[in-house]
Amino acid sequence: MAILIDPPSWPGHGRMWSHLVSTVSYDELHVFARGQGLPERLFERDHYDVPDRMFEVVVAAGATPVSSKELVHALIACGLRRRKHSV
């Protein structure tokens, strides 16, 4: 299992958010997120948005904290990055 999370540094809806990804598969990511009580509505393309209040819980459950830059590089390297479509 290779689940990564970046620091809660993305603002939205009155709080800060992290990104949670898997470097193995989306299935692994969904199983892990479900185990932490994260609803699937928080899944966006290739990651889950994780509210700041859940960061320590997710790390305690086994997610590896990395920088945002490391997270994106790992996602690209494993082939699971899904970019937003350009208009």
Tens-place pLDDT, residues 34-58:
999 999 999 998 999 999 999 999 9
pTM for the structure as a whole: 0.88
DSSP 23: S
Tell me the C-alpha distance between 78 and 35, whole Å: 23
pLDDT at residue 87 is higher than 70: no
Q: Residue 1 — pLDDT band, cuts 50, 70, 90?
A: low
